[in-house]
Amino acid sequence: MNVSQRSALIKEKATELGFFLCGISKAEFMEEEAKNLENWLNQNHHGEMSYMANHFDKRVDPTILVPGAKSVISLAYNYYSEEEQEDVEAPKISIYAYGKDYHKIVKKKLLSLFEWIKATFGDVDGRVFVDSAPVLERDWAKRSGIGWIGKNTLLINPKKGSYFFLAEIIIDLDLHYDDPITDYCGTCTRCIDACPTEAISPNGYFMDGSKCISYLTIELKDSISTEFSDKMANYMFGCDICQQVCPWNRFSTPHNEEAFLPKAELLSMTKADWYELTIPVFDTLFESSAVKRTKYQGLKRNIEFLKISSKAP
C-alpha cells in the first residue's frame, strides 16, 4: 500500500468517526512559525498565559514530542450550534462550551482513529493531541490544507467556516502530504472592526491575547481591568464575535454531536438567574463542561463585572 492509499484510508476513517476535515503535513521543524511565536511572546501578548512560553522547542518541532515522527494528521470536529440563550439580556457563553467538555469527547474519537491506524498499518508510534499540549494546532492545520489562518487568527475553511475544534495525531508513519490552501480573507475587515476590545491588529493576523474577551473571562486570574467595562459585549465565558461576523461562517452547519447539546436549563436561565448564580446551580449546569475551567468563583467574577458595568453611566 502506497502513501496516498494509506492517507485516503485514514481520511475515510476520520470521516466515519465524525471529523469533518482531515489533512496531513510533514512533521518537521517550523522555522517561520517559531519566529512568529517568539515575536508574539516577546510582546507579552500572552498575558498571564505563562504556559505559552513553556516548552518552546516542543511547540515548533513535533519530532521532540514524538521521536521519529514523519507526519502530522490534522483534524477538525464541528461544534456549530443554532441554539441560543432565551433571554437576550442574559450574560452570554461561547457556543463551544454549551455541552460537555470537548477535550474528552474529541480525544476519545481521536484515540479510536489512532488505534485503527495501528491495527491497520502495523506497529506505529505516535501521540494524540486535543488542545492539551504544546502543539501549534492552527499552524499544523494550515500546513495540512484544511484551512487558512484568518485575520481573526482562527482557522477558516472555505466550505465549513471556523466553528470547529482542532486535533492532531503526530505519528512515525509516512503519508501523503497535502498542500496549504489560499487565504481568502481578502480586503474584509469585519472581525477587526467588530472586536470590542481591539484585540485584533488593525491589519489582522495578529491577536493581543491579553485583550481578547475569551482570555479575560477564562485565562485571566486577576480582576478584569475597568478599561474593559463597556467592551465585554455581555460575555461571561468566551466570545464568538469575530466568528459571528465572518462571512465564511455562512457555510457553517449545525453539529450532530449529542454531547455538545446544551442543557435546556442553561438556555432558559434569565439575566436575574445568572446574577443570583449559586454553587449548586453552577455544578448542575456545568457538570462535565469546559466552563468548569473557570470555576464558580471565576464565572461569578465575570458576571459581577458585567453587572457593575451595566450600571455604569
Could you tell me if 94 and 234 are in contact, meaning their C-beta atoms sit under 8 angstroms apart? no
Mean pLDDT of 172-179: 97
Question: Which pLDDT does position 33 carry in this prediction?
Answer: 72
User: In the structure, what pLDDT confidence band is assigned to residue 18 with cuts at 50, 70 and 90?
Assistant: very high
Statement: residue 60 has pLDDT above 90? no
Question: Which pLDDT does position 29 carry in this prediction?
Answer: 79
Residues linked to residue 22 through DSSP beta bridges, in sequence order: 75
> What pLDDT digit, counting tens, does each position of 257-273 carry?
999 999 999 999 999 99
Question: Which pLDDT does position 53 carry in this prediction?
Answer: 55
What is the reported pTM?
Answer: 0.92
Mean pLDDT of 184-190: 98
H/E stretch holding 121: helix 102-121
Statement: residue 129 has pLDDT above 80? yes
User: In the structure, what pLDDT confidence band is assigned to residue 136 with cuts at 50, 70 and 90?
Assistant: confident
- Full domain range(s) for residue 152: 1-313
Question: Which pLDDT does position 52 carry in this prediction?
Answer: 53
Query: What total number of domains does the chain contain?
Result: 1
Least confident of 31-35, 74-78, 134-138: 31-35
Q: What's the CA angle centered on 58, arms 199 and 145, to 5 degrees?
A: 65
Could you tell me if 277 and 299 are in contact, meaning their C-beta atoms sit under 8 angstroms apart? yes
Statement: residue 216 has pLDDT above 90? yes
CA–CA distance, 82 with 255 (Å, rounded to integer): 9
Could you tell me if 138 and 155 are in contact, meaning their C-beta atoms sit under 8 angstroms apart? yes
Statement: residue 56 has pLDDT above 70? no
Residue 21's SS3 state is strand
Active site residues: 131
Statement: residue 43 has pLDDT above 80? no
